[in-house]
Structure 1
Amino acid sequence: MSISDIFEKLGEEYFRNLESQVIIDLQQKTGLVVSCGGGIVLRDKNVEYMKKSGRIVLLTASPETILQRVKHSDERPILNNNMNVEFIADLMKKREVKYMASSDIIINTDNKTIKEICEEMIVKLTEFDREVQI
């Protein structure tokens, strides 16, 4: 099922439970990059599990940039019927404390290429790991 179908037929709580179970299951794997949606950090246990087995990278952008990137997607149930800058800005503001508290590093992606974002991520993760070892 698509994320939208899960939200529609089974509800957000069911989806969040699946999401949490995947995070638990992935702890037994190594060498992975896991791309999570913005709601993953709303549960403290998810953050705890992710930090046990890896680093949390927050990729952020302005509400305007986010709207440009997702405006043609129907795979973001929380944004469906809310595709506007005001809603996105409000959602980001509501989640900001959780985002900041859970992130090991933060990368603003506005006006950057994928290559630039990846290079910045490598540098910041390397620096983060060096600091953690000290």
Structure 2
Amino acid sequence: MRFTLSSWAALAIGVASLLLAAAVAVGFARSDRQRNESIARAMTGGDPTRAPAMIRRYGCVGCHTIPGIPGGDGKVGASLADLRTRVYIAGVATNTPDNLVQWIVTPQAFSPRTAMPATGISEAEARDVAAYLYAQ
């Protein structure tokens, strides 16, 4: 098969179009992530960028599947993927930022027999974790 100048040009245009489409898709994904993080910060008063270290430090990954957290594949508690779309937290509290923060700090206040432990996480740290979960 022989390639002519016009076939090479067509190929180059096709490759350029694919690269442009990929760049646009990455840009949209980045802007969606930034928008979700901004909304989560406003909702919770927390900083989602600080949360991954806390999520590991307090052992959340041992029980929960948590998107974006290495080793966050626990199967004891519910998956925390798409938490922002749920109506309830742990099936017992309306999914609001304040309820999520309080659940993270003192889950027994909502459900005395819950298997989720009180980890000693502070309210400020729980706000960061809540922001991270809502931003996903």
TM-score band w.r.t. shorter chain? under 0.3
Greater RCO (Cα-Cα under 8 Å, separation 6 or more): 2
TM-score (norm 1): 0.26
TM-score by length of 2: 0.25
